[in-house]
Chain A
């Protein structure tokens, strides 16, 4: 689905729940059981209230492009982007299966997992 080979993400003891869910095809977002807020990137300590009580909730998988850039200089040009999730936080990702020339800020996108070699799939987004 994309030409660029995606690097295997570094999985740590802290991020393992996220990547285990990804292996099962589920996109989960870390949400604090104490303050109710969802944060990004995922961590074990809530960046908003400090609680260590994080629920891994199934995400809607929808968002809008906050900003993006097409890396023209790469052998296989690719679109990097920040996508603001329906749950609130904005995350770094790639936009795939898209026309680079019509990508725009505010565009609606949906999550799609991209395979990595011998690693968990990583959440990407495509227009829709």
Chain B
């Protein structure tokens, strides 16, 4: 059983807001849901599958299905994989459609960490006291930033990666963000700007980190017959993979991510290789997140990521592997501190030929979206999705 060719992304919508103090989280979910349905040319009454993750208010599907007044549901899925949930849920939606469990799947994400004033990256967060590792992590001041920083430090030690090489990832994102009217950081930055920005957690500088923004996004995924009856370009799901990577009882390597497992699974299902991919969306909570995932997906050898991302190689038009042409989490937005949804949305824009003309990849017929959710420095979920324009 495969999901290859069994489902199409018919609708995609990204909320234009980056700061929404006047809207509720449920309202943002509803706005992106209606936006994606309108994009597809469908209505709420067509939706019979609903998918959401940990950002949805309350218990998730029940609360949001009621708020949206979805009355025809016959399949629901609230798999919580952190920021990459939506990359995985797109694959789950395709699987549910392939099994006949639904015809029109709606996936939503929204949140307002900026309005709620969360210092999400630099403050330790006390989690569920039943989490068995909590007592052995919280006392030490583990935050998002210093967890990822330890991955970067180890990668530098093991492979000679430099801060300047990491900075190129931000530079490429800024080249793309300058064309995005909604981007939080639309100014071009240089390698020198990045390495001169204040250190947050060695070796990561402020400009190695993503933005904190409000907003959201949604996808509508449908059966092939329905996709072909609509007027949008055909974007077919051809491969998906997901996994969890963790500390394995204290025997781990911080320089690899779960993409080393979810990536090959997605490539195998799609029957394609990294060299075939024309555009990639790569989760960019930090610059190091991108570098490690690119290596794990096989776009370059493990340890060669620093050289690979340098000299503008990720910039659309001039580089070999255009990435995050909306500016990504590093420059555009990071709604609900979860970057997976916008990764899929920008890949859909590229495949439809609807990216900004300055960053549109020519003949973009095969794209990949990759996300890691939670914490690369401890335990995280990884999801990979490969899409093809038909």
Binding site for B on A (CB under 8 A): 4, 6-12, 14-15, 19, 37-43, 47-48, 66-74, 78, 80-82, 85, 88-94, 105, 116, 122
Contact = CB atoms under 8 A, between A and B. Distances in A.
Contacts of B254: 66-67, 82
A51 to B, nearest CB: 13
B139 A8 contact: yes
17 contacts: A7-B138, A7-B139, A12-B135, A15-B132, A39-B250, A47-B248, A48-B249, A69-B201, A69-B202, A71-B141, A71-B200, A71-B201, A72-B201, A73-B122, A73-B200, A80-B141, A92-B136
Interface in B74-120: none
Interface in B240-269: 247-252, 254
Interface in B196-226: 198-204
A72 B132 contact: no
Contact of A69 (B138, B149, B198, B251): B149
A33 B124 CA distance: 35
A7 B117 CA distance: 22
A90 B202 contact: no
Interface of B: 122, 124, 126, 129-130, 132-143, 145-146, 149-151, 153-154, 157, 198-204, 247-252, 254, 378
B323 to A, nearest CB: 25
A9 B138 contact: yes
Contacts of A67: 150-151, 153-154, 157, 254
Contact of A88 (B129, B137, B150, B250): B250
**Best-surrounded residue of A11, A90, A91, A116 (most CB of chain B within 10 A):** A90
Contact of A10 (B138, B142, B146, B249): B138
B134 A10 contact: yes
Contacts of A15: 132, 135-136
Nearest to B251: A89
A82 B138 CA distance: 14
Contacts of B133: 41
A41 B132 CA distance: 8
A74 to B, nearest CB: 7
A90 B252 contact: yes
Contact of B136 (A42, A66, A81, A90): A42
A10 B129 contact: yes
**Best-surrounded residue of B145, B201, B204 (most CB of chain A within 10 A):** B201
Contacts of A47: 248-249
**Best-surrounded residue of A8, A78, A82, A122 (most CB of chain B within 10 A):** A82
Nearest to A105: B157
A72 to B, nearest CB: 4
Contact of A9 (B136, B200, B251): B136
A14 B150 contact: no
A10 B122 contact: no
Given A72-B202, A73-B122, A74-B122, A39 B249 contact: yes
A8 B129 CA distance: 12
A91 B250 contact: yes
A92 B135 contact: no
A78 B149 contact: no
B118 to A, nearest CB: 15
Contacts of B124: 7
